[in-house]
Amino acid sequence: MTTLRETLSRSRSDVPFDIVRGAYGELHVTNLEASQHFYVDLLGLVESARTPDTLYLRGWEEQTHHSIVLRERPKAAAARLSFRVRTPGDLDALERSFAERECAHERVTGELAGMGEALRVWDPFGFPLEFFHEIARFPTQLQRFDLHRGAPIMRFDHFNIHAPLVEQTTDLWLDLGFRCTEYISTDGDDERMTGCWLTRKPLVHDLAMTAGVGPRLHHLGLATADALGVLRACDQLAAAGHAGAIERGPGRHGVSNAFFVYLRDPDGHRVELYTGDYYTGDHDHPPLRWSVSDPSCRSFWGAQAPDSWYDESSVVLDPNGEPTPLRASGVDERVARSVLMA
């Protein structure tokens, strides 16, 4: 029988497309002015473009057009998880791959500012994905220290999703050429995974999943230059009267080693400010396992995440733009931890 570690150690080098990294997230927000205040005035993201109902924002290091797209709509939702591919031809190979899985998919061109052709896909679990290559460029402002504002946020780093079928969802991403760097699982013979970190770029992850009610987007991870940037963001939010936006942390993760804070935007979408993970470019390194009973896995200093962090997430949209129906997860990290620690 194949063990979970053996399953997660498989690394495919034969996939006929090359996904470079998680590139941006598209969120539906109910009040664009309120969102602009949060993401631009308080967190310091750079405005790349704006239409009456859409705001395109990027980090200071980002050379592609946007790290986040905010579109004003009647109901808040996570509209898209978007990945950049290495060449335009990668879209054809990806389209064949998802067509074989009988997934809904479509090509769009120029629907969003700064973008060329993109492939949109609803994966077998209902997550709305996008793959693209062509996008307008900006010069990096990494060293425009004279202009930096906010944390500052440097670039998009990762998606974290709430997945009810966490093992099956992980299999899909392994088939797409992602590698598992770390995971959390229960102890004993009936080992169950409660969290998984998957990557294409040589850092800890482009996509993480947490076992839970889904499909939903748990958070967008945004990279800051250093831990002081995370603390500066907290100070600035509190001083501006937005201390209530700070949901969890700041602190250091066990998994990934990153310094972090989780924030909730005006619509409740969760964003993580994240910095200080590590190199993962050696493809034969085995995944690092954390026991769910280890209190340092989620927070290295032992603090437990609040229930809201486990229970609340952003709904995702189906091909008709409606919220995708939810299903329960077969494993809950908190329950597994309390049983094991009793």
To Fe ion, the closest distance from the beta carbon of 298 in angstroms equals 11
To Fe ion, the closest distance from the beta carbon of 26 in angstroms equals 18
Interatomic CA distance for residues 16 and 129, integer angstroms:
18
CA dihedral 64, 67, 72, 75 (to 10 degrees): 140
Of residues 94 and 211, the one with the C-beta less far from Fe ion: 211
Of residues 176 and 204, the one with the C-beta less far from Fe ion: 204
Give Dmax over CA atoms of the chain in angstroms: 58
Token pair 């939702």: residue: 77
Of residues 38 and 259, the one with the C-beta less far from Fe ion: 259
To Fe ion, the closest distance from the beta carbon of 263 in angstroms equals 12
Of residues 59 and 114, the one with the C-beta less far from Fe ion: 59
Identify the CA nearest to 84 among candidates 120, 12, 35, 133. 133
- Kindly provide the residue ranges of all beta strands, DSSP E only, lying in 126-252, ordered along the sequence: 128-132, 153-163, 179-185, 193-199, 207-211, 216-224, 246-252
Chain residue whose CB lies nearest Fe ion:
221
To Fe ion, the closest distance from the beta carbon of 220 in angstroms equals 8
To Fe ion, the closest distance from the beta carbon of 218 in angstroms equals 8
Interatomic CA distance for residues 284 and 9, integer angstroms:
8
Residues contributing to the site for Fe ion (CB under 5 A): 160, 221, 272
Of residues 70 and 255, the one with the C-beta less far from Fe ion: 255
76-112: buried (b, 16+ CB within 10 Å) or exposed (e) per residue?
bbbbbbbbbbeeeebbeebbebbeeeebebeeeeeeb
Of residues 62 and 272, the one with the C-beta less far from Fe ion: 272
To Fe ion, the closest distance from the beta carbon of 97 in angstroms equals 26
Residue 124: count other Cβ atoms within 10 Å of its Cβ. Answer: 14
Give the ranges where 84-219 is alpha helix by DSSP (H). Answer: 89-100, 166-175
